[in-house]
Amino acid sequence: MLNVNQISMTLSGKIIRKQIYKQNRYLKKVSFIIFAFLTITIVQAQPDIIDQTSFGGAFNDLAYSFQPTNDNGYVLASTSNSKDGDVSGNHGGYDFWVVKLSALKTIQWQKSLGGSSDDEIRSIQQTTDGGFILAGFTYSNDGDVSGNHGSGDCWVVKLDMFGGIEWEKTLGGSNFDEARSVQQTSDGGFIVAGTSSSNNGDLTNNYGDFDCWIVKLSGTGSIQWQKTLGGSKVDKASVVKLTSDGGFIIAGFTESSDEDVTFLHGGSDMWIVKLNENGQMQWQKTFGGSNSEEVVSMIPTNDGNYIAAGYTQSEDGDVSGFHGNVDIWVVKFSDFGAILWEKSLGGTSQDVVGDIRQSNDGGYIVAGSSSSNDGDISSNQGQYDCWIVQLSNIGNIQWQKSLGGMYDDLANTILQIDDGSFILAGTTASNDGDVSGNHGSFDSWIVTLNAVSTGNVDLPFYSNEEYSLKVSPNPAYSHIYLTIEPDQSLTTVRIIDVMGRTSLVRDVIPYQHIDISDLHNGLYWLFAYNTSGKSYVCKFRKQE
């Protein structure tokens, strides 16, 4: 069984305000009842497994990153030391293992990258030319790897769309250097975030121990600028994302309370740093309590803010609702680093996160792993299970599900696709329960879960309605059309999201046709009123 530090490495580590318009008291009452009904329905719903596939060979194949591709397929980035099964071309030890999958999740091609020592991937992204950018670390200096500075180096590799190497670059100094996240930038270059304990080679500064290390590369891998961030203790970057102003936001953890770090709650804190486009720090913020916290995943949200997911061992400071041992900790924060809300998830054992994404309904989907069988977790099949949690946009649990078998099953990343279903990528050592087809030891594991639907709601106060309101198309994209049976002329339409907030009002409806292109993806309730003031209700989903 893996301990929490190994799991963290494998995974890469309040009240609602009902903003309802007062000018229509009846609508306010209806919206509140609908919101309460939806909440109950969503909490009770839980997705089922549509399909699952294990990828790998006889040894360890550890999935770290899984992304959609522009041909409606997927790319899987794993670290592998297998030489059989689905894996070919291993150079020795662990290699970067990149697998291109079709829309049906069948292998189109696979590629092992590395040298005779260990090479471990952490991040992959498809680039604008259809190829891929990879980042991780390498101890090799042969095979596909050149220019190692000593010990482990950050290793960045650019592939074409068929997996051929276009260029590769080792970054670092004589001590250990690791890349954890890479993103393509608007100028066609790349931003790399990780950690370094070096003070030579490509680095010009080290504050002490490990620092966060940020490197801006050109489109061909040349260093344009690099920046160390931190203090005298351990500081590590896990995630880098682009910001709307052309800069970057970095998330990881810090144990320091000096130099770039102005405050530490205790142990280690989540650490968020905002840089401008040239790498100059604009602000930084620590989140946490008296024990240890770390960011594993972070994304910008569709309201212009950010959400981070990591782990916590605290029950004080910024942290509330701690269940015990290690919890998943989710923090929503503003674009200036102010906490908007936070949520501890888990049970009395170890619960660690791999990924957080925004879901189609405006909430958040969290993928992690749990060895608990209490608290927020309703079941555990043995040791660590993959654990998936759907949160509302204010952090309330809507549903949760454990997946796996009798051995360790670790969730590293999750996607929601256009039809509402979820695709989970992780690592499994099981071959029972929800898992079949294991090749041996740890396999990369891809699981598809069906969309969770609240179904058609028959509200009591509309149960005897003699008229029927319909929206088409549903799901809708940029416009909707309304039909009333028997035919009626509508004067007003009000669209409300699942949190009870008015999203759109139209006082006159020509041809009963409405532009919804400005609405975010998600589920909405539509209230329509005819010339006699009679009201009707239906629901629809907006998606791109």
Tell me if 414 is assigned to some domain. no
Tell me if 360 is assigned to some domain. no
The residue segments making up the domain with residue 470 are 28-42+455-542
Q: Is 11 helix (H, G, I), strand (E, B) or coil?
A: helix
Q: In angstroms, rounded to a whole number, what is the distance separating the alpha carbons of residues 241 and 335?
A: 13
221: left (phi over 0), alpha (psi -120 to 50) or beta: left
Which residues, other chains included, contact 451 with Cβ-Cβ below 8 Å and sequence gap of 6+? 47, 419, 420, 421, 422
| Domains held by the chain: number | 1
* The pLDDT value given to residue 32: 37
Sign of the alpha-carbon torsion through 137, 140, 145, 150: positive
Find the CATH number of the domain harbouring 499.
2.60.40.3080
Structure tokens at 470: 């319909």
Tell me if 517 is assigned to some domain. yes
Q: In angstroms, rounded to a whole number, what is the distance separating the alpha carbons of residues 108 and 294?
A: 36
3-state secondary structure 261-308: CCCCCCCEEEEEEEECCCCCEEEEEEECCCCEEEEEEEEECCCCCEEE
First to last CA, the chain: 42
Tell me if 466 is assigned to some domain. yes
Tell me if 233 is assigned to some domain. no
Tell me if 523 is assigned to some domain. yes
Q: Is 512 helix (H, G, I), strand (E, B) or coil?
A: helix
Q: In angstroms, rounded to a whole number, what is the distance separating the alpha carbons of residues 100 and 111?
A: 9
**Mean pLDDT across the chain, nearest whole number?**
87
Q: Is 502 helix (H, G, I), strand (E, B) or coil?
A: strand
Beta strands in 201-276 (DSSP E): 211-217, 223-229, 235-242, 248-254, 269-275
Q: In angstroms, rounded to a whole number, what is the distance separating the alpha carbons of residues 118 and 539?
A: 53
Pairing, β 490-497 against β 479-485: unpaired
Q: In angstroms, rounded to a whole number, what is the distance separating the alpha carbons of residues 178 and 53?
A: 30
Helical (H) or strand (E) element with 40: helix 25-44
Structure tokens at 447: 């699981």
Q: In angstroms, rounded to a whole number, what is the distance separating the alpha carbons of residues 407 and 409?
A: 6
pLDDT tens digit string along 348-397? 999 999 999 999 888 999 999 999 999 999 999 889 999 999 999 889 99
- Please give the order of strands across the beta sheet that includes 74-80: 61-68, 74-80, 95-101, 107-113
* The pLDDT value given to residue 14: 25
Which residues, other chains included, contact 501 with Cβ-Cβ below 8 Å and sequence gap of 6+? 19, 20
Phi first, then psi: what are they for 26, rounded to 5°? -65, -45
Tell me if 519 is assigned to some domain. yes
pLDDT tens digit string along 249-298? 999 999 999 999 999 999 999 999 999 999 999 999 999 999 999 999 99
Residues of the chain with pLDDT under 70: 1-45, 453-468, 485-488, 498-502, 508-511, 531-534
* The pLDDT value given to residue 294: 98
The residue to which tokens 């000096």 are assigned:
258
Tell me if 317 is assigned to some domain. no
Q: What is the DSSP letter of 390?
A: E
Q: In angstroms, rounded to a whole number, what is the distance separating the alpha carbons of residues 387 and 56?
A: 22
Given a contact cutoff of 8 angstroms between Cβ atoms, the answer to whether 263 and 270 are in contact is no
